[in-house]
Structure 1
């Protein structure tokens, strides 16, 4: 168990190191409006990331979402800014990789960016999400693997029980066939005896026929 947890922890650290290298700043056009923000790429499916992302930003205010775009007007994100933030994000990806774009507008188009005091906090906020999401995904994959292994074991047990029943049925069938063979041998022996008896009966009957025939001829001769 400890070995498994250690392996998972090492994998998580390695993955997060890779994730940290994929955090970068840039512009993103959303609904024909250009936003300045931070990009974060995760080696996880977009469907899974969207679920995690919506849960992650939910505490900061009322979410307005459409086509993988999430907005929170006057978000209360005090770890990033003491003042309300107009938060806009977009999730794009596929089954293997997902990129999140997050823009933090502190008012009048004053976006969080490298060089201002809010950037490190925003970057850490995204990194914290990466840590949480990668961990949850690892747990999900491990649980899926466990469930599959459990199903395979249950299937193997049921198959073993079926094989035991088949063996018992085979033994019973063998016993039945052996009894049938024994009965068949006895029947054959009796039939053989019956055939010999029948031959004797046929010979006796034939003799009787000859005798009766002679008797008929004798009677006819006397009448003449």
Structure 2
């Protein structure tokens, strides 16, 4: 838990720095052949990640419909921007490295929130709050991925250590087995050497007996003559 807290703290600092660098600017965007006045903000994150975060972020404003990166809430509940329901249209476009979020707030009859009116600051804050949240989520995700990878590597090293411990134990058993075999071999050699000496005596005895038997044969044959 301590490591996770450190990672989150680092993520918060990085997110704060990145958020301060984000700039909201007013402009127009054509969506489905209709021109909308609104606000833009570019975030240095992948479009897929931002779309996922954006869908989650705007849930609190009401039921939305989406199509190819365009999101609409016809009666959005945005109290900070308007006491009345807002016809909210947004679009998320980008690539793997950078994504731009466009938002248009129709207060009724094509009266859009724009620079200079009283709702602009609230709309500006909404986008910056989203950027901060999305950047924070990304920093935490990256930090957790790094931690998970490190944890997997640690588990891998622990398993390798367990395998090495088993190998050492098996090696010890094999050594004991070999030492017993060497001891048995030495005893067998000692017995073989004794058997060789005994065999030499037996050979001498057998040779002497053979000579005596040959002489006996010669003696018997000589009697016949």
Partner of 2:139: 138
3-state secondary structure, aligned to 1:72:
strand
* C-alpha distance in 2 between matches for 1:220 and 1:30: 137
3-state secondary structure, aligned to 1:86:
strand
1:14 deviates by 1.0
1:30-82 per-position Cα deviation (integer Å, ceiling 9, x unaligned): 33333332221222232222221111111222211122221112222222123
Judge conservation of contact 2:14–2:139 (CA < 8 Å) in 1: no
3-state secondary structure, aligned to 2:37:
strand
Matched, 1:114 2:92: no
Q: After the TM superposition, which residues 73-92 of structure 1 pair with which residues of structure 2 at under 5 Å, given as runs?
A: 73-92=74-93
Partner of 1:129: 130
TM-score normalised to structure 2 length: 0.83
Partner of 2:25: 24
3-state secondary structure, aligned to 2:169:
helix
For structure 2, list consecutive stretches of 5 or more residues without a partner in the other structure.
none
Partner of 1:182: 183
Partner of 2:14: 11
1:89-108 per-position Cα deviation (integer Å, ceiling 9, x unaligned): 22223333222122222333
* C-alpha distance in 2 between matches for 1:222 and 1:90: 136
Partner of 2:170: 169
3-state secondary structure, aligned to 2:109:
coil
Inter-CA distance 212–116: structure 2 relative to 1 (3 Å threshold): same
Judge conservation of contact 2:8–2:140 (CA < 8 Å) in 1: no
* C-alpha distance in 1 between matches for 2:91 and 2:213: 118
Q: Which of 58-67 and 131-140 deviates more?
A: 131-140
RMSD between superposed Cα atoms in Å = 2.6
Number of residue pairs matched by the alignment:
222
Partner of 1:156: 157
Q: Which of 59-68 and 157-166 deviates more?
A: 157-166
